[in-house]
Chain A
Amino acid sequence: MHVNVWHELVESNVGKAGLILIGLMVFLAVFAPVLSPYSPRENTDAPAFSRPSEDHWLGTNDARQDIWTQLLYGARTSLSVGFGVALLSAFIGVLVGGTAAIFGGLYDRFWMRVVDATIAIPDMIVIILVAAYFRPNVLLMILLLSALSWPEGARVVRAQTLTLKERMHVSAARTFGASWSHLLVRHIIPDLGPILVAIMIQDARRAVFMEAGLSFLGISDPSVMSWGIMMQYARIFTYLEVWKWWLLPTGLALSLTLIGLSFTGYSLESALDPRLREADHHHHHDGGI
């Protein structure tokens, strides 16, 4: 099996659109200080609720802060939480799912019950309770969200590893006396690559959404600029015209980020799963080595 997943991802329109959207958001987040002269909490000279202008592309809010700048820095928070959770929960997922599949037996059964139990926990309630108590900053938010989102990944990784484990090159490595870490790093993870990225995108999407939701509910660190917080403030002033350039662009940014992740994830999954592939795909790959 030698299907070039990455190639197919870039070839498909949905995948292309998804990657462009993610790229755009990453660009905005990374170059925030370049794209705006202000800082997100800075009270500018412009009057409150001023309309979009050359100086303030999206106008200002009630505290004379530049909304465009806030949007840029909000992207930073959203994306850090998204990528952080993706990386951490994928790491835990590979460690737990991979070793469970390799060792099997009691160890496997133990971890799979832990996975079941974690999935059964109602995420939102736990997060709201914990977050309300801790007022988490970005790092804590990543840890909290990862702790709840790794089990799905672990399940997929375990299933995939069980198949990969039967591959002859893995057997061969085992009969050279390879340790589990060698098997995982050299033989399993490289072949897990695409599916792992699909899992990570899934986790990232959930994390971005959750983070926005939580800050919208006001249970995040208020000193951190976030799209959720922006929308919560903007909501108060919906009787004014300001929602057009305050609430709407923020909601749009969040939606585009989520859409970008969804598109990429969808396209990746269809490349991975031959049943989801279009029957008459113009790009025909030879399956054999």
Chain B
Amino acid sequence: MLEINDLKASYDETEILAGVDLDLLRGDSLAIIGESGAGKTTLGLAVMGLLDGRCSGRILLDGKDVLSLDEKERRKMRGKDMAMVFQNVEDALDPLMTVSDQIGEAISAHREKDDPLEVEDRVRGLLRSVGLGEEKGGSFPHQLSGGEKQRALIAMALANDPQVLILDEPTASLDAVTKAEVTHLLRERIREKIVLVITHDISTAAKLTEKMAVLYAGRIIEMGETRDILDNPRHPYTRGLIRSSPNMTTTKDLQGIPGRMKHGVPGCPFSDRCTQRIDRCRKEVPKLTDAGDRMIACHRGGIVPLLELSGVRTSFGDFAAVDGVDLTLYEGETIALVGESGSGKTTLAKTVIGLFEQEEGEIRLEGEPLIKRDRDFYKRVQMIYQNPKESISHRMNVLEAVAEPLAIQKVGSPSERVAMVKRVLEEVELSSDDAFLKKYPHQISGGEAQRVAIARALVLNPKLLIADEPTSALDASVQAKILKLLLNLQEKRGLAILFITHDIALARKVSDRMAVMLKGKIVEEGPTSDVTTCPTHPYTMKLLEVAPGLAPMSKARETREERGGLWDVSEMPPLRAREL
């Protein structure tokens, strides 16, 4: 077993690893993910005893501390007990030796007595097992493709059947098909070993490992089952990483994480970039603690639920427009509320914001039950409306309109307000010059008016934005820009958005989760990708069926529709090698 205790490492005063603890048994595969510079490779090198910098803590492999061994003993262990597949395929092989010779060398290095025939036999076996074919063994590295070189490196790493295998970006420079093949190969070969997969490629990590640890500025900030972490990231950084990595599962547009990683910040290393930090985050380092199905290091216990609705009911006379709705919206997350007009979406939104009286149920905001909506409430929750021009008084110019919330909330002096207005106008990508400030709603375009409306909502720095069909009155091209803006603002401010729309195609692009509403009830709710790919409620299926698409009906679909059913499996075209 491999046990790492309080491992710290630094290069020239810069602390790269700031106390890492890991416990791995034979058969465990752990992905270490994080941005470049997080200390992932340093961790791998430290385990291998290859680190140049200063190191403290303990790395115990079957009770032996790698860090306290001398170089000779370490060399004995490397390659035999533990092996590493390095990141850079091009440089890791000796250009003057054939592949077979290099693998053979790796084997003989750990033998007292050489038996050339046995070694040769083993090399052939290894080449076969990594799918290279024996004839490739005689090739020099430059005669091999990237994928083949990677296979050769894997064969070298496996040469002495090590207990610990460290894969540093094993598929980073490979094309998608080769990557899939190599991933498949690795999955076969790494069973019954202790495997550390160091990667920034989340999909590779997902395919190769059972467990996952997220490393940030030298600390593990979230660790648990790979499936759990990817389906439901709890640390804001983990969610940011998943959001910024292109994949075929999520449907929302890519979003980044604001700011840059810095080492050696006091308090939580992520606090600078975190949108839900509190004072404590800047002062104290959060400990990695058990949070049910995983470990997490966050003073706020991970991403906080911002808005929780339970059993909310709003009725007009005898008619319940919203009839017992439960919904939780997390910090920095978008939930799309979809459904046809009259399904109660807008009523629900107006109930939350307080334009309609809520009859039953409980609303909690940041964990506190919402009793009355005072001025302070509207600092935290804001709304933008369907028709931007009507939501701005025709008697107010841009400056007055955007300063109105500040005036109502009595924030700042008049001159400070002007400065704040200009800042927020720039944030929503509008001009902040005097000419624009003096324009009235009827003098600006619909897209500009919606930006002004967004600026009005954001000038108070809310945590939750309710957007009621914010783009339905706009042209498609303007709509796209407004949606991009909302996503950017979410990324920057950690804004939680309750996005109300009847357009499921639109909802799919902007939301993390989707709630389908019908007759005042939520009939289906889940990650947007799940809801849109495998809907369970017939109404969701209907919505998806009528959703806009671009492709003219394909031949297969035409036939299918003529026949009125799905393809028989037997009639399907044969599967091509999708994954080796």
Contact = CB atoms under 8 A, between A and B. Distances in A.
B376 to A, nearest CB: 8
A159 B443 CA distance: 30
Contact of B378 (A2, A177, A182, A186): A177
Interface in A261-276: none
Contact of A175 (B376, B378, B394, B441): B378
Interface string A29-50: 0000000000000000000000
A289 B374 contact: no
B387 interface: yes
B385 A176 contact: no
Interface in A157-195: 167-169, 171-179, 182, 186-187, 190
Interface residues of B, number: 31
Contacts of A186: 393, 404
Contacts of A171: 355, 385, 391
Contacts of B394: 2, 169, 289
B412 to A, nearest CB: 14
B88 interface: no
Given A2-B442, A190-B395, A175 B382 contact: yes
Interface residues of A, number: 18
A6 to B, nearest CB: 14
B456 interface: yes
Contacts of A172: 383, 385, 391-392, 453, 456
B307 interface: no
A41 to B, nearest CB: 49
Nearest to B405: A176
Contacts of A167: 390
A186 B393 CA distance: 9
Contacts, number: 63
Given A169-B392, A171-B391, A176 B378 contact: yes
Contacts of B533: none
A182 B392 contact: no
A240 to B, nearest CB: 59
Contacts of B456: 172, 176
A76 to B, nearest CB: 35
A94 B339 CA distance: 41
A168 B76 CA distance: 76
Contact of A176 (B376, B390, B404, B442): B404
B393 A177 contact: no
Nearest to A288: B442
Nearest to A176: B405
Given A171-B355, A172-B456, A174-B355, A187 B393 contact: yes
Interface in A91-119: none
Nearest to B378: A177
Given A168-B385, A169-B390, A289-B442, A175 B395 contact: no
B391 A289 contact: no
Interface string A43-79: 0000000000000000000000000000000000000
A174 B404 CA distance: 11
Contacts of A2: 394, 442
B416 to A, nearest CB: 17
B479 to A, nearest CB: 19
B364 interface: no
Contacts of B442: 2, 289
B482 interface: no
Interface in A130-180: 167-169, 171-179
A25 B103 CA distance: 113
Nearest to A104: B357
Interface string B358-376: 0000000000000001111
A175 B349 CA distance: 12
B409 A176 contact: yes
Given A177-B373, A186-B404, 4 more contacts: A177-B374, A177-B408, A178-B408, A179-B408
